Amino acid sequence: IINNEFIPALDRVGELYEQGKIFLPQLMGAAETAKRGFDIIKAGLPSDTSSSHMKIVLATVKGDIHDIGKNIVKMLLENYGYEVIDLGKDVEPDVIIKTVKEQNIRLVGLSALMTTTVHNMEETIALLHESCPDCKIMVGGAVLTAELAKSIGADYYSKDAAGSAKIAAEVEAAL
C-alpha cells in the first residue's frame, strides 16, 4: 500500500506543486492526509520490539519544517527492523551530534525540502564528520541531487525511502 499507492500519490502531488497547478495549502493538506494514512497503517502492523538492527537517527535540518519525506523514511526503516530515533524537524546540529554520541549511532539521515536550508545541511554534515567520524550520513529531499549531496559532504544520497533502506543495509553490513 505504501510503495504502490501512498508514495506515487505524494510524488504526483509534488509534481503538481512544482508545476504551479496546486499551491502550498493543497500540498500541506496532502502531506497531512498521507501522515494520517501512514499512522493508520502503522497502527495495524505487528510491532517488533526485538530489533536486531542498528539504530539510525533521522532529522530535518535547522530551518526546515517539512517532515513528510523523513516520516516516510522512518516508517519504512522501522518496517525493516531498524530502531529509528526521530529528532523531528528544524533540528539544530548540536542536538544531532549529542544524540549520535550518546547513542553510538553509525548512520544519520538528514532531510531538506527547501533550497534555503541546504547550507544548514552542509553545516550539519561538516560538524558531524568532525565530531563523529565513524558515523555515516545519508541525505535526501526534494532539492537534492546525488551531485549536490556529494558536494556538501554527504556519504550517501537517496532519492526515495526505498533507497534509504538499501543504504542502511549497506552501512550495517560494513560494521
* Beta bridge mates, 55: 83
Q: Which residues of the chain have pLDDT under 70?
A: 3, 46-52
Contact of 139 with 112, CB cutoff 8 Å: yes
Q: Please, where are the H alpha helices in 21-175?
A: 24-44, 68-79, 93-103, 118-131, 146-151, 161-173
Residue 53: the pLDDT is 86
Residue 51: the pLDDT is 54
Contact of 125 with 154, CB cutoff 8 Å: yes
- For residue range 37-82, list pLDDT tens digits in order: 878 887 887 665 555 689 999 999 999 998 888 988 888 888 778 9
Residue 154: the pLDDT is 99
Q: Residue 133, class by beta-carbon neighbours within 10 Å (0-12 exposed, 13-18 middle, 19+ buried)?
A: exposed
pTM greater than the 0.75 cutoff: yes
Cβ neighbours of residue 100 under 8 Å, at least 6 residues apart?
A: 57, 108, 128, 131, 132, 135
Sheet of strand 136-140: strand arrangement: 83-86, 55-60, 107-111, 136-140, 156-157
Q: Residue 162, class by beta-carbon neighbours within 10 Å (0-12 exposed, 13-18 middle, 19+ buried)?
A: middle
Distance of CA 50 to the CA centre of its chain: 23
Residue with cell 537517527: 57
Residue 46: the pLDDT is 67
At 16, list the grid cell: 503538481
Residue 69: the pLDDT is 85
Residue 120: the pLDDT is 97
